[in-house]
Amino acid sequence: MKIWILGLEPLETRYTGEWYSQFKKVFKELGVSHEFIYGDVVTMNLESKFFLDPIGTNIWKTTQMSRMLNKFDKVREGDAIFTWDFWHPALECLAYIRSFLKKKFYLVGIAHSGTYDPWDLTYQIGMGRYGKFFEEGWFQILDKVFVATTFHKELILKSRTVDERKLCVTGLPVDIEHVSRFRKPWGQKEDLIVFTGRKSAEKGYDLVLKLRNDLNLPIVVALDLGLKKKDYHKLLGKAKIVFAPSKQETFGYGVVEGIANGCVPVVPNGLSFQDYVLKKFRYEEGWSFREILSNGRLLLDPLLEEQEMAISKYDYKKVIRIMADRIWELGE
C-alpha cells in the first residue's frame, strides 16, 4: 500500500508546516511508502477571528487536486489517498473516479470542524443550510475519518449520519519536545496568564476582556502580539497559566502547547478538555475567576507532572503511528 497525502497549506501561524516533516519522519521509520501532493501557495490574508484565507485555501486544494489527478495512473489497487482536511473538493472527484473505474483504493481524511458544530465559523456564516449535505456525502465517501478527541467524535454522531466504525479518535500531532524548548522552571516563571485562542465568541474572547478589565488580571492575548511561533512558545514558556474559556473546543492546540510549557491550564469542565485536562484544572460554570485561581490548584507540582503526562499521547510520533495503523487495517 502507498499513501498519497493531500496535506494542508503550510501556514506559519498553524501546525501544518511541521506536519510534513513529522509525517515524513514517522512514515520513513515505519517503512510506509508515501508521497506528498502539494498545491499552489498564495499570500494568505488572515483576520484575527479566522484561521485561514478562504480564497488561498481553495487555490491550494484545487491545484493540489489537479496534481493528484495527473498522477492517478500511478495509484494502484489497495493504495490510500489521505487528505489532512475532509473539507476538500478532491473527495467528490476521487469518489466519482473510484465508482466509474471500479478501482479499489481507499479514501481517508481528518475532520477538524464543520457545520455539524453550531459554534463553528462555517455554521455561523450560514453554511449550515447546505453544509450538512456535503458532510453527509463525505462521511459516506471516506473509509476512515480521524478526529482529535472523543468529544469531537460524539459531536459528529449527534447530528450527522455516519458509520461510527469509520470515526477514529487519534488526537492531532504535536511536537511536545520542540514546543517546550523555551520552558522556564516554575520559580523563574512570570505572573502571566496567556489566552491563545482566536478573538471570537467561540473561544470566549469576551470573557477574557471582561476579566482583564474588571479584575486587572495580567492576561496576555497572544494574537495581539503578532509573534512568530518561536516567540509564541517563549511566551508560554515563561507564563504560569494558559487560559481557554472556550464555549466550544474540539481539540485545543494552544492549551496542549501551554501544558507542554509547564503552564497550569484553566479551562471549563467539558468539551474536548475532558480528554486530556485533569479535573482539578477544569472549572465549573458559574465559578468566578477568583474562585478558580484560589481553589488550591496552581502550585501542585505532582498534579502538573501528571497533567503533562496526560498530553503525552498527542506526541506526533504516537498520533501518526495510530493513523498509519488505521490506514493499513483497511487493506487487511
* pLDDT score for 211: 83
- Encode pLDDT of 50-80 as tens digits: 566 788 889 999 999 999 999 999 999 999 9
**Percentage with pLDDT > 70 across the chain:** 92
Q: How far apart are CA 83 and CA 157, in angstroms?
A: 21
* pLDDT score for 296: 42
Question: Do residues 23 and 151 share a domain?
Answer: yes
pTM for the whole structure: 0.91
Question: Do residues 22 and 80 share a domain?
Answer: yes
**Total number of domains in the chain:** 2
- Domain of residue 207, CATH code: 3.40.50.2000
Question: Do residues 131 and 119 share a domain?
Answer: yes
Mean of pLDDT values over 197-216: 87
Cβ(114)–Cβ(55) under 8 Å?
A: no
Question: Do residues 277 and 322 share a domain?
Answer: no
Question: Do residues 8 and 137 share a domain?
Answer: yes
pLDDT tier for residue 302 given thresholds of 50, 70 and 90: low
Question: Do residues 320 and 251 share a domain?
Answer: no
Question: Do residues 247 and 224 share a domain?
Answer: yes
Question: Do residues 266 and 181 share a domain?
Answer: yes
Question: Do residues 321 and 306 share a domain?
Answer: no
DSSP state of 13: T
Q: Show the domain range for 228.
A: 176-312
Q: How far apart are CA 239 and CA 218, in angstroms?
A: 10
Cβ(112)–Cβ(248) under 8 Å?
A: no
Question: Do residues 101 and 9 share a domain?
Answer: yes
Question: Do residues 132 and 111 share a domain?
Answer: yes
- The dihedrals phi and psi of 29, each to the nearest 5 degrees, come to -65, -35
* pLDDT score for 186: 86
* pLDDT score for 291: 67
Question: How far is Cα of residue 165 from the mean position of the Cα atoms in its chain?
Answer: 21
Question: Do residues 56 and 90 share a domain?
Answer: yes
